[in-house]
Amino acid sequence: MSDQPTPAIDARTVFSLSGVSKTYTMGALKVEALKATDLDLYGGELVVLLGASGSGKSTLLNIIGGLDLPSTGRLRYGDTDLSRADDATLTRYRRNHVGFVFQFYNLIPSLTALENVQLVTEISSHPMDAADALALVGLDERLNHFPAQMSGGEQQRVAIARAIAKRPDILLCDEPTGALDYVTGKIVLEVLTRINDELGTTTVVITHNAAIAGLAHRVVHIGSGRINRIDVNQTRQTPQQISW
Ligand SMILES: Nc1ncnc2c1ncn2[C@@H]1O[C@H](COP(=O)(O)OP(=O)(O)OP(=O)(O)O)[C@@H](O)[C@H]1O
């Protein structure tokens, strides 16, 4: 197991979890979704979080993203301790520092691509220009299209533009290609790896697709609520090189 940064990324710890657990209680039933988990995320790295359905991936991502708090353990974002953060602190952390991309794009149907991204840039402290964010994902010619006028892959690229336009320190992607066909999924992965390279945004991609692991600096294997292994890819693959 290796929890060390690869030489390609910087050694700054952006986010750190230690001894984190999460138990969901439903009546008499307790589900231990995450058990005694330690993980550091480093500046600029692309991490793939790989595990079967129900292994705890989304639970871990939700805690890193400040959408949920752990039952026990410690969370640090830079010098800030988020372990027992109140709602206002978590909202500020999410708004200023975290970008989210989900399997379904969650765009507002009545707004154009540009307006969907502007919704975020208007409330961010140091955003990029919304049109520039859309150009980064290759949609500079689709600014005025509505979601219904775009393919699934294009809508996902709008969602990625929306997530990165606030210049987050961490980009969290939960099965970003889960609803897409093979070719379109690869285009979305190409966009995510390019953004990680160009902007240096620490990126975490959840997947149950082992082929995607080849893109990562580090691959975190999760099973039954535990990190079983962390692999460092000495040689990374490009989205063109992977297949499934
Ligand atoms: N809000 C909740 N209440 C109760 N149990 C939950 C809740 N959220 C998740 N769980 C349970 O916690 C465990 C881990 O779920 P999680 O969603 O983190 O897994 P996952 O690896 O992301 O799965 P998938 O790939 O299917 O999305 C599962 O057993 C799940 O049923």
Residue 137 reports pLDDT greater than 50: yes
Query: What are the tens digits of pLDDT across the range 13-60?
Result: 999 999 999 999 999 999 999 999 999 999 999 999 999 999 999 999
pLDDT at position 189 = 96
Strand (E) or helix (H) holding 159: helix 152-164
Q: 48: closest CA among 240, 197, 229? A: 229
Domains and CATH numbers, the chain: 43-72+83-232 (3.40.50.300)
CA of 24 to the centre of ligand 1 (A): 9
111 alpha carbon to ligand 1 midpoint, in Å? 32
Question: Which residue, by CA, sits nearest to atom 2 of ligand 1?
Answer: 24
DSSP 75-131: EEETTEE-TT--HHHHHHHHHHHEEEE-SS----TTS-HHHHHHHHHTT-SSPPPHH
Would you say 16 and 75 are in contact if contact means Cβ atoms under 8 Å apart? yes
Q: Among 24, 30, 49, 71, say which to mutate for ligand 1: greatest number of ligand atoms within 8 Å of CB.
A: 24
Residues touching ligand 1 (Cβ under 6 Å) are 24, 26, 31, 33, 51, 53-59, 208
- Which pLDDT tens digit goes with each residue over 101-117? 999 999 999 999 999 99
List pLDDT tens digits, range 168-225: 999 999 999 998 999 999 999 999 999 999 999 999 999 999 999 999 999 999 999 9
Question: Model pTM?
Answer: 0.93
Question: Atom 20 of ligand 1 has which residue's CA nearest to it?
Answer: 54
Kindly provide the ipTM of the predicted complex, given to two decimals.
0.96
